Amino acid sequence: MMFLRNIFVSIIFFIILTSNSWSISSSEFISSLTTEASDILSSKLSDEEKIVRLKEIGERTVDIEGVGLYTLGKHRKLLTDNQKKQYNELFKNYFLKSFSGRLVGYSDAKIAVLSEEIKNEKYTIVFTKLIGTSDRPEVKIDWRVYTKNPENPLVRDLIIEGLSLARTQKEEFNSIIVNNDGNIEALFENLNKFLEN
Amino acid sequence: MNRILTTFFTILLIQLMVVNKSYGNEDEVKDCFEKLNRATFALNRGLDKVIFKPVSKGYRKIPSPIRTGTGKALNNLSNLITIPNNILQGDLGSAANNSARLIINTTIGILGIFDPANSLGFEKREKEDFGQTLGVMGVKEGCYFVLPVLGPSTVRDSVGSLISMNGGDTWHNITVRDDEEYVKEFKESDYWTSRALEGVDFRAKNLEAFESMENNSIDLYATVRSLYLQDRKKKIKNSKSNTEAMDDGDWNTLENQ
């Protein structure tokens, strides 16, 4: 009987310990992601190699499909299945190129995680700051982390000094579609042009 | 005083006329003169390429302590607009804090080059201007437009700038208008030099950010417009963390589909 009880207690402990190790807090997630990116940026790798490594991080830690659909705003309801598939592919390539291109210029980027605010079960905002240098002021960066699956948190937006990158992207895409009489193909054309350059 | 009031009400009338143009969605960008704006934006980018960017790059070569001191002195000067706007917005605490900062930093801090006020407990607070005050009072932003050289603005922000230029800005009054009896030391050129330095200092601090934005945008005009309007909304709300950008509304519509 004692033996069975010990086994039962061990199983319970095992479940508690392993379930804790699976879930990761949003702050830890952002801290690990920024440390990894910072190490790559400050390394002696060539820009091309840095871009490849940054794209890997982006693909692993950002909800690219979710961000893509968000940035389409009201226009996403008008997509056919085929257009949706085409858009998801285009946006993923666009996002990764733009994401790595924006970051690769910062060789001395150090980010400090300050705190986090759990908004609801789906979203946590992690507050960080990009440490200032003699050439660049300190910058506040808040991360919208999508926590619907706590075992696999994903970034959905970066809010730099109160300005949302996802929202900016959404208004940029909307401007292209609206200026082309609502034709979504014009956006695809622009994304393709960006990818070709 | 009459001139200030006349200008204020005339412009407010124009503002109301322009804003009354109907738009379905409050959040929709009111870019009433987009074609003209895009042309002015292209002109400004040309000027930036030939003048502002090279000057800012040169400015970055000046030793860091000099640049930091210049930035702080310009910030100190901006208190002359911030303080009356703190009062107009009913934020008397910030008005007192900024007045103390202005007095201490202008005297002990040698024209604001140093910031001893911070060590004495008067911490730096957000800048305020007449455009923001109008926003706090409930005046809508109106149409977005791009000014040659000066860049993005809205009808409301332009009214704010006109108020500054017509008596609202003490620094402008004692330099350009020269209507202050007790301060005769400053010339008109001091005002324009300080404004130009402000622009160069801002551009120099954001050289990499601007370049990255230029290289990674598929519609740079729309990107700048979005950033400008978001920034003004944030400043009017005086929010630090609870920004509009963190509103779940838009994201929840994604979840529900």
Q: Give the tens place of pLDDT for each residue, A49-67.
A: 999 999 999 999 999 999 9
What total number of domains does chain A contain? 1
Question: Can you give the pLDDT at residue B23?
Answer: 44
DSSP code, position B250: H
Residues on chain B touching A119 (C-beta within 8 angstroms) = 246, 248
Tell me which of B8 and A167 has the higher pLDDT: A167
pLDDT cut 90: percent of chain A above it: 59
Question: Can you give the pLDDT at residue A195?
Answer: 93
Q: How far is A129 from A137, CA to CA, in rounded Å?
A: 10
Q: How far is B109 from B73, CA to CA, in rounded Å?
A: 9
Whether the pLDDT of residue A133 is over 90: the answer is: no
Take residue A40 and report the two structure tokens written for it.
């790559």
Residue B54: CA count within 13 A, CB half-sphere: 5
The rounded mean pLDDT for chain A is 87
Q: How far is B201 from B67, CA to CA, in rounded Å?
A: 8
Question: Can you give the pLDDT at residue A9?
Answer: 61
Q: How far is B142 from B134, CA to CA, in rounded Å?
A: 12
Residue B138: CA count within 13 A, CB half-sphere: 0
**Taking the alpha carbons of B147, B151, B154, B155 in that order, is the dihedral positive or negative?**
negative
Cβ contact, residue pair A176, B218, below 8 Å: yes
Q: How many other CB atoms sit within 10 Å of the CB of residue A80?
A: 9
The rounded mean pLDDT for chain B is 86
Question: Can you give the pLDDT at residue A108?
Answer: 77
Q: Largest alpha-carbon pair distance within chain A?
A: 77
Question: Can you give the pLDDT at residue B20?
Answer: 46
Residues on chain B touching A156 (C-beta within 8 angstroms) = 251
Nearest residue in B to A128, CA atom = B241
Q: Quick check: is A127 in a domain?
A: yes
Q: Quick check: is A5 in a domain?
A: no
Question: Can you give the pLDDT at residue A12?
Answer: 59
Q: Quick check: is A7 in a domain?
A: no
Burial string for B192-226 (b: 16+ CB within 10 Å, else e) reads eebeebbebbebbbebeebebbeebbbbbbbbbbb
Q: Among A51, A70, A175, pick the best mutation site for testing chain B contact (most B Cβ within 10 A).
A: A175
Among the partner residues A119, A174, A190, nearest to B248 by beta-carbon distance: A119
Domain extent, residue A60, equals 23-192
Q: A83 pLDDT band (50/70/90 cuts)? A: very high
Q: How many other CB atoms sit within 10 Å of the CB of residue B254?
A: 15
Whether the pLDDT of residue B5 is over 60: the answer is: no
Is B120 in a helix, a strand, or coil?
A: coil
Digit-coded pLDDT (tens) for B135-186? 999 999 999 999 999 999 999 999 999 999 998 898 888 888 876 666 677 8
Q: How far is CA A55 from CA A94, A102, A128, A171, A188, in A?
A: 11, 11, 22, 24, 21
Across the range B37-66, mean pLDDT stands at 95
Tell me which of A144 and B243 has the higher pLDDT: A144
Nearest to B89 by CA among B141, B130, B142, B140: B130
Q: Quick check: is A16 in a domain?
A: no
Q: Among B29, B41, B64, B227, pick the best mutation site for testing chain A contact (most A Cβ within 10 A).
A: B227
Question: Can you give the pLDDT at residue B24?
Answer: 45
Instruction: Quote the minimal CA–CA distance from B176 to chain A in Å.
Output: 31
Nearest to A58 by CA among A22, A12, A94: A94
Instruction: Quote the minimal CA–CA distance from B201 to chain A in Å.
Output: 11
Tell me which of A111 and B249 has the higher pLDDT: A111
Q: A91 pLDDT band (50/70/90 cuts)? A: very high
Query: Chain B residues within 8 A (CB-CB) of chain A?
Result: 29, 34, 60, 64, 205, 207-208, 211-212, 215-219, 221-223, 225-227, 230-231, 234, 239, 241, 243, 245-246, 248, 250-251, 254-255, 257
Note the pTM of the prediction, 2 decimals.
0.83
Q: B251 pLDDT band (50/70/90 cuts)? A: confident
DSSP code, position B185: S
Q: Which of A2-6, A16-20, A69-73 has the lowest mean pLDDT?
A: A16-20
Helix and strand tally (H, E) in chain B?
13, 2
Question: Can you give the pLDDT at residue B112?
Answer: 93
Q: How far is B51 from A141, CA to CA, in rounded Å?
A: 31
Across the range A2-17, mean pLDDT stands at 59
Whether B65 and B77 have beta carbons less than 8 Å apart is answered as no
Whether the pLDDT of residue B120 is over 80: the answer is: yes
Whether the pLDDT of residue B18 is over 80: the answer is: no
Residues on chain A touching B255 (C-beta within 8 angstroms) = 122
Residue B245, Cα to own-chain centre: how many angstroms? 20
Whether the ipTM is more than 0.85: the answer is no
Instruction: Quote the minimal CA–CA distance from B65 to chain A in Å.
Output: 9
Q: Quick check: is A73 in a domain?
A: yes
Nearest to A169 by CA among A148, A149, A194, A150: A194
Across the range B224-244, mean pLDDT stands at 82
Whether the pLDDT of residue B7 is over 70: the answer is: no
Among residues 131-190 of chain A, which lie with CB inside 8 Å of chain B? 134-137, 142, 144, 156-157, 159, 161-164, 167-168, 170-172, 174-176, 179, 190
Q: Quick check: is A14 in a domain?
A: no
Question: Can you give the pLDDT at residue B81?
Answer: 95
Residue B28, Cα to own-chain centre: how many angstroms? 22
Q: Quick check: is A35 in a domain?
A: yes
Q: Mention every residue, 6+ apart, whose C-beta is less than 8 A from residue B191.
A: B171, B172, B175, B176
CATH of the domain at A170: 3.10.450.710
Whether the pLDDT of residue A20 is over 50: the answer is: no
Nearest residue in B to A76, CA atom = B254
Reduced to 3 DSSP states, what percent helix, strand and coil does chain B have, rounded to the nearest 5?
70, 5, 30
Digit-coded pLDDT (tens) for B27-50? 677 899 999 999 999 999 999 999
